[in-house]
Structure 1
Amino acid sequence: MKITPFFKFISKLIYEKIRGRFIPSQFAIKNGYSHRKDYNYDDDRTYTDEYQREVYELAKYYLEENNYNKIVDIGCGSAYKLLKYFGGNDTVGIDVSPTYEYLIKRYPDRKWIHALGAEPLPLASDIVICSDVIEHVLDPDELLKKIQKINFKYLFLSTPERDMLYGIQNYGPPDNPAHVREWNYREFGVFVSRYFKVESHQITNVWQTTQLLICRPLD
């Protein structure tokens, strides 16, 4: 018997419904979603501003409008965007090895912190940027709790929008091997609202499926 595309679609739908009963929701992502269990390093030391440029541009606008100066960039990668837009400001870049060692060697006059080291995150910053980082970490709750400890004015938090990438029937894991999980628009808003006051939630780049939350600390 020939299996039609419609039959395949219905079979997949039934399978995901059954699977959802046995795999509970995590981090506000729907039941049945498959999260990766291992972390895979994503080497972006050669990147410039191919991705998330508009996130940094918008953060720059907020900085200038409010006469701010201090910036913390969590998961800064090559630091190209950090230094391009905030080179004249007080910056702290945070990343893991070997990116961390690369940054110290290339920009020794700047402040860098190892994300997994003993040195704590800065106590205060006007703006915190965490752009397309949260999908890479095994425990996003831990990441957001660490950001909560920073006395900041605005947080710029971005990640890919899963439904725009794959459609609503995707149950993971992500095609990108460096991504542990991905959220759709509703899920991400719900998850981040547990930790911060969301002032704006928008799709900033349709082609790159970037969703951005601009947040303030909870009262």
Structure 2
Amino acid sequence: MSDGQASPIRRFEYQQYAQNRVNKMRTNTTMKLTALAAAIGFVMSGNALAVDRSTADQEVPYEITANNNLAVSATATSLLINSAVTIEADGSREATGTANWSVDTNSPDDLSLSAELIDALPIGVTLYVASADPNTGTAADEQALALTSEVDIVTGIQALKQDAIGLTYRLVAQPTAEPGTGSLTVTYTLKDAI
């Protein structure tokens, strides 16, 4: 065989090889075109959605009302002054009792808790009250309660919910106070601080 002529088997192998190369190139080209067509379709569909999109506004009205709730325990512990109570230097005797109160407010402004006596005290008797500060928990100074006259016992109350805040009552009886029993009504008010 001369150099210019290849054997039929070699020609067949070459043709097979060439055909495989062509098929492989066609497959690669088809895959690339398919991926390109998919990408173009995705972009086109995105543009189509953007063109068809519309918007509408809706107003949603709302209202948040003022919430200033106050509650006190139904009764305080009984205040008993008897011969077992120590006599103070001025001759008075005293007894203490406790109660509690709760507050729930959304007020951004300062509120105060005031107290006033609705019932008259017997002659020679004074009732004091002190409350823990609902913001800090520290005890505030006690205040003497007066008949139908509000006395602020806590100030600076703002936007909080607190339960079981301590109240302490102190009943002081001077030597001139007459024996007797009774009940006193104390009215608490949550109000704007002045």
TM over 0.5, shorter chain: no
User: TM (normalized to structure 2)?
Assistant: 0.23
User: TM (normalized to structure 1)?
Assistant: 0.21
User: Would you tell me which structure has more strand in proportion to its own residues?
Assistant: 2
Name which structure has the greater RCO, CA cutoff 8 Å, separation 6+. Answer: 2
Larger Rg, first or second structure (1 or 2): 2
User: Would you tell me which structure has more helix in proportion to its own residues?
Assistant: 1
